[in-house]
Amino acid sequence: MKAVVITQPGPPEVLQVAERPQPEYAPNEVLVKVAAAGINRPDVSQRKGNYPPPAGAPTEIPGLEVAGIIAQVGANVTRWKVGDKVCALVWGGGYANYCNVPEGQCLPLPDNLTFIEAASLPETYFTVWSNVFDRGGLKPGESLLVHGGSSGIGVAAIQMAKAMGSTVYVTAGSDEKCSFCESLGAAKAINYKTENFTDRIKELTNNQGVNVILDMIGGDYTPGNLQSLADDGRLVMINMMNGKDVAIDLSVVMRKRLVITGSMLRSRDIDFKSAIARSLEKYIWPFFESGEIKTIVHDIFPAEKAAEAHRLMESSMHIGKIVLRFEGL
């Protein structure tokens, strides 16, 4: 098969198309002929040498989410058959013509979505479900603040939380991005370059704060996050783009009875990820079929232009997801 490989740690240009053997698949796995693969920030970190894959995962082929057609099924696979259209969360190896996937991490392709659209879903939707609803415990009627509202994670979180009955606030880096987030269902989008999000959240919630914050920024955002939480609020960390070291006022945590938590999804086991897949299929997939949740794909690149796709990701000029197309590679 052909794959996009990391030839050495470095800038986008280190991504090159190369011939590689088709991956082997275990008895509980399927082999997916990949039509499209989503691009995510962990792919960029892995390319730079800053995000080593878990033991056993592909080391030179990045990619955490794919959509395509099942080409082969393992001996113990019960749900899927050759020819089924699926999208799937993988732990690496997605930038290739073929990818092996545990059976439970596959989801059926919604009837009204293309492979390109479906490839934009798994990594972000698995991440949001696990962190906002499972770890963060967001309930209908509660409020959520998402930093990076126009990112792939952000556009998923806005739509998922709104569809499940919550009020959503976001931060974004331009008026254009803020307007887009509000068009998706955010009650208010705060331009972090011109406004202080902590002050705006206090105003918007009558000084009550929000129930859950999903944060991929970390660093100097953390004290403001704690101030922005309501009593018994939950701060969920999924990245630390502004740094991992921060000083916080622990008296705020105690006085407001706050929970600070976080997670990394890639290293979790198959059973954990499969449980998320079942929740998504039950609670979220019907919203795609009804049109209440929409896929947001900013741009599509042929796989041989993966370096250009990574440059766009690093520029943060996109709104929504960036996807690689593999047909005819």
pLDDT in tens, the chain (329 residues): 999 999 999 999 999 999 999 999 999 999 999 999 999 999 999 999 998 898 889 999 999 999 999 999 999 999 999 999 999 999 999 999 999 999 999 999 999 999 999 999 999 999 999 999 999 999 999 999 999 999 999 999 999 999 999 999 999 999 999 999 999 999 999 999 999 999 999 999 999 999 999 999 999 999 999 999 999 999 999 988 888 989 999 999 999 999 999 999 988 999 999 999 999 999 999 999 999 999 999 999 999 999 999 999 999 889 999 999 997 54
What residues have CB less than 8 Å from 301, skipping those under 6 apart? 308, 309, 322, 323, 324, 325
Mapping DSSP to helix (H, G, I), strand (E, B) and coil, where does residue 79 land? coil
Closest alpha carbon to 301 in 321, 317, 320, 325? 325
pLDDT value of residue 71: 98
SS3 content of the chain, % helix, strand, coil (to 5): 35, 25, 40
Give the number of C-alpha atoms closer than 13 A to the C-alpha of residue 54, restricted to the C-beta side: 11
Classify residue 161 as exposed, middle or buried by CB count within 10 Å of its CB (0-12, 13-18, 19+): buried
**Closest by Cα among 319, 207, 218, 304 to 260:** 218
Q: Which domains, and CATH codes, for the chain?
A: 2-121+266-325 (3.90.180.10), 125-262 (3.40.50.720)
* Residue-level pLDDT at 267: 87
The rounded Cα 100 to chain-centroid distance in angstroms is 20
Q: Count the neighbouring beta carbons within 10 Å of the beta carbon of residue 43.
A: 29
What is the CA 164 to chain-centroid distance, rounded?
18
**pLDDT computed for residue 327 by the predictor:** 76
